Amino acid sequence: MGDNVYGLAVDSSAGYVFWSEFFLDQVMRADLDGNNVVEVGVAGSPSGLAADPVNQKLYFITYNNTQLYRVNYDGSDQEVIVPNLGGQGVAVAVDPAGGLVYYSNRADNLFVAELDGANPSVLLNGQSVIQGLDIDTEAGLIYWVARSAGMIRSANLADGSNVQDVTMSNGNGWGLAFM
């Protein structure tokens, strides 16, 4: 693992950890014990990523020339599912049961699309540089780090309504995980 890791995702049921090597333009996978490191994706400046354990797909977004990608866990069938997003791609979260993927850019927008990239739309805008991103499907909420505001926020997963400040993030947060 290099010194330019920007994104991290784990699928413990499959036994894999994934990460993005930003400056090397690679998305990598290893067993949870660190063995069997392989490249599973190639794209310029990959940043945020999210694992879909149901379909064994990895979603990742690129920071420069912002596009949303999907690739199989074994590295096959890499495809751009949402091109030309504008801004700089930062974070991704996936809801396999709901059939949706959520992603953000530094233009303060939070987007949602179907798992194949169809029907992309803006879920939220004007949210102060959305960095870390995660979802709680049981509560029907999406959480993110509003980096410029120094806050962790939430909103309704279905329509982006009811934006709430959850807590202060104590500075320039980049990641977020819901347990």
The CATH number of whichever domain residue 129 belongs to comes to: 2.120.10.30
Answer whether residue 176 is part of any domain: no
Q: Which domain holds residue 118?
A: 5-168
- Residue 178 resides in a domain: no
> Which of the pair, 71 or 148, is modelled with greater confidence?
71
| Domain annotation covers residue 174 | no
Domains held by the chain: number: 1
Nearest to 68 by CA among 91, 52, 36: 91
pTM higher than the cut 0.95: no
Domain-located, residue 96 = yes
Highest mean pLDDT among 75-79, 134-138, 163-167: 75-79
What are 96-145's pLDDT values in tens digits? 999 999 999 887 789 999 999 999 999 998 777 787 899 999 999 999 88
Give pLDDT, residue 176: 47
- Inside any domain, residue 58: yes
